[in-house]
Structure 1
Amino acid sequence: MKIVLAPDSFKESMSASQAVAAMRAGVQAVLPDAQCVEVPMADGGEGTVDAVVDALHGQRVEVHATDALGRPVTAAYGHVPLRQLAVIEIAAAAGLELIPPDRRDVLRASTFGVGQLIRSALDRGAEDILVGLGGSATNDGGAGMLVALGAVLTDADGGPLEPGGAALERLDRIDISGLDPRLRDVRIRVACDVTAPLLGPTGASAVFGPQKGADPADVARLDSALSRLAAVTATTLGRAQPQRPGAGAAGGLGFALAEFLGAEIRPGAEEVAHTVGLEQAVRGADWVFTGEGSVDAQTVMGKTPFGVAQLAVKAGARVVIFAGRVAADASVLLDYGVDRLVAITADGTPLEEALRDGAVSLTRATAELCREITGADRQP
Structure 2
Amino acid sequence: MKVVIAIDSLKGSLSSMDAGNAIKNGILKAVDAEVIVCPLADGGEGTTDALIEGMGGEKITLTVNGPLGAPTEAFYGYLKESNTAIMEMAMASGITLVSRQDLDPMAATTFGVGEMIKDAIGRGIRHFIIGIGGSATNDGGTGMLTALGYEFLDAKGKPVGPGGQCLEKIASVSDKNRIPALDECVFQIACDVENPLCGPHGATYIYGPQKGVTEDLLPVLDRGMNNYGHIAEAFTGKSTMSTAGSGASGGLGFAFVTFLNGTLKSGTDLILEAIALETAIEGADFVITGEGRLDRQTAMGKGPVGVARLGKKHGAKTIALAGALTDGAAACNDAGIDGYFSILSSVCTLEEAMSPETTRKNLELTANQLFRLL
TM-score, normalized by the shorter chain, greater than 0.5:
yes
Structure-1 residue corresponding to 2:119: 120
Write the mapping of 1:118-267 to structure 2, written as runs, cut at 5 A.
Answer: 118-267=117-266
Write the mapping of 1:20-35 to structure 2, written as runs, cut at 5 A.
Answer: 20-31=20-31, 33-35=32-34
CA distance, structure 1, for counterparts of residue 348 and residue 172 of structure 2: 57
Matched, 1:100 2:99: yes
Of residues 71-80 and 21-30 in structure 1, the stretch that sits farther from structure 2 once superposed is 21-30
Matched, 1:10 2:10: yes
Tell me the CA shift for residue 250 of structure 1: 1.0
CA distance, structure 1, for counterparts of residue 250 and residue 314 of structure 2: 37
Structure-1 residue corresponding to 2:365: 367
CA distance, structure 1, for counterparts of residue 347 and residue 101 of structure 2: 34
Structure-2 residue corresponding to 1:314: 313
Structure-1 residue corresponding to 2:271: 272
Of residues 248-257 and 298-307 in structure 1, the stretch that sits farther from structure 2 once superposed is 298-307
Is this contact kept in 2: 1:23–1:363, CA < 8 A? no
Of all paired residues, the percent bearing the same amino acid is 38
5+ long unaligned stretches in structure 2: none
TM-score by length of 2: 0.95
Structure-2 residue corresponding to 1:83: 82
CA distance, structure 1, for counterparts of residue 304 and residue 319 of structure 2: 9
Tell me the CA shift for residue 251 of structure 1: 1.0
Of residues 344-353 and 8-17 in structure 1, the stretch that sits farther from structure 2 once superposed is 344-353
Of residues 294-303 and 4-13 in structure 1, the stretch that sits farther from structure 2 once superposed is 294-303
CA distance, structure 1, for counterparts of residue 268 and residue 113 of structure 2: 21
SS for the counterpart of 2:7 is: coil
Deviations 1:97-125 (A, max 9, x none): 11122222122110000000101111111
2:11 maps to a residue whose letter is K
Deviations 1:18-52 (A, max 9, x none): 22222222223323x22110101111001111222
Structure-2 residue corresponding to 1:60: 59
Cα distance, 1:176–1:321 mapped onto 2, change above 3 Å: same
For the aligned residue pairs, the C-alpha RMSD in angstroms reads 1.7
Structure-2 residue corresponding to 1:293: 292
Structure-1 residue corresponding to 2:331: 332
Cα distance, 1:69–1:341 mapped onto 2, change above 3 Å: same
CA distance, structure 2, for counterparts of residue 341 and residue 290 of structure 1: 9
Of residues 103-112 and 348-357 in structure 1, the stretch that sits farther from structure 2 once superposed is 348-357
Is this contact kept in 1: 2:5–2:289, CA < 8 A? yes
SS for the counterpart of 2:288 is: strand
Aligned length: 374
Q: Runs of 4+ in structure 1 displaced over 6 angstroms?
A: none
Tell me the CA shift for residue 346 of structure 1: 6.8
2:275 maps to a residue whose letter is V
CA distance, structure 2, for counterparts of residue 192 and residue 347 of structure 1: 38
CA distance, structure 1, for counterparts of residue 193 and residue 60 of structure 2: 27
Tell me the CA shift for residue 328 of structure 1: 0.7
Structure-2 residue corresponding to 1:341: 340
Tell me the CA shift for residue 324 of structure 1: 2.1
CA distance, structure 1, for counterparts of residue 354 and residue 206 of structure 2: 31
Of residues 203-212 and 115-124 in structure 1, the stretch that sits farther from structure 2 once superposed is 203-212
Cα distance, 1:168–1:348 mapped onto 2, change above 3 Å: farther
Tell me the CA shift for residue 54 of structure 1: 2.1
CA distance, structure 1, for counterparts of residue 133 and residue 170 of structure 2: 26
CA distance, structure 1, for counterparts of residue 288 and residue 217 of structure 2: 45
Is this contact kept in 2: 1:248–1:254, CA < 8 A? yes
CA distance, structure 2, for counterparts of residue 347 and residue 336 of structure 1: 29
1:126 maps to a residue whose letter is I
Deviations 1:303-328 (A, max 9, x none): 11111111111111111112222211
Matched, 1:19 2:27: no
Is this contact kept in 2: 1:85–1:126, CA < 8 A? yes
CA distance, structure 1, for counterparts of residue 130 and residue 277 of structure 2: 18
CA distance, structure 1, for counterparts of residue 279 and residue 5 of structure 2: 13
CA distance, structure 2, for counterparts of residue 12 and residue 225 of structure 1: 40
CA distance, structure 2, for counterparts of residue 349 and residue 107 of structure 1: 47
CA distance, structure 1, for counterparts of residue 241 and residue 223 of structure 2: 13
Is this contact kept in 2: 1:294–1:323, CA < 8 A? yes
SS for the counterpart of 2:330 is: helix
Of residues 12-21 and 362-371 in structure 1, the stretch that sits farther from structure 2 once superposed is 362-371
Structure-1 residue corresponding to 2:351: 352
5+ long unaligned stretches in structure 1: none
Tell me the CA shift for residue 238 of structure 1: 1.9
CA distance, structure 2, for counterparts of residue 349 and residue 174 of structure 1: 60
SS for the counterpart of 1:217 is: coil
Deviations 1:196-247 (A, max 9, x none): 1111222111111112122222222221111111111122112231111111
